[in-house]
Amino acid sequence: MQKEGFTPSRLALADYPISWGHMDYMRHVNNVQYLRFFESARINAFNDWEKEALDTQQFMSGVGIGPIMRSCELAWRYPMRYPDTISVAYKVSWIGEDRFGLKGIIISHNARKVAARIDEVLVTVNYDDGGTYKVQVPEPWQQILNNSLEENKPYVEQ
What is the per-residue pLDDT across 2-32, written as a single tens digit (0 to 9) for each? 345 665 545 788 999 999 999 999 999 999 9
Distance CA 145, CA 130 (A): 25
In the three-class reduction of DSSP (H, G, I as helix; E, B as strand; rest coil), residue 63 is classed as coil
Please indicate, yes or no, if residue 129 is contained in any of the structural domains: yes
For residue 46, the Cα-to-chain-centroid distance in whole angstroms is: 8
Please indicate, yes or no, if residue 144 is contained in any of the structural domains: yes
Kindly state the percentage of the chain with pLDDT values over 90.
57
Query: pTM to 2 decimals?
Result: 0.85
Say what the pLDDT of residue 158 is. 38
Please indicate, yes or no, if residue 121 is contained in any of the structural domains: yes
Mean confidence (pLDDT) of the chain = 85
Please indicate, yes or no, if residue 156 is contained in any of the structural domains: no
Please indicate, yes or no, if residue 43 is contained in any of the structural domains: yes
* pLDDT value at 58 more than 80: no
* pLDDT value at 57 more than 90: no
How many domains are there within the chain? 1
Distance CA 137, CA 13 (A): 25
ω before 83 within 30° of 0 (cis)? yes
* Structural domain harbouring 94: 2-151
pLDDT in tens, 94-108: 999 999 999 999 999
Helix (H) or strand (E) holding 33: helix 31-52
Q: What's 121's domain CATH number?
A: 3.10.129.10
Please indicate, yes or no, if residue 36 is contained in any of the structural domains: yes
Say what the pLDDT of residue 120 is. 97
pLDDT in tens, 73-86: 999 999 999 999 99
Q: How confident is the model at residue 140 (pLDDT cuts 50, 70, 90)?
A: confident
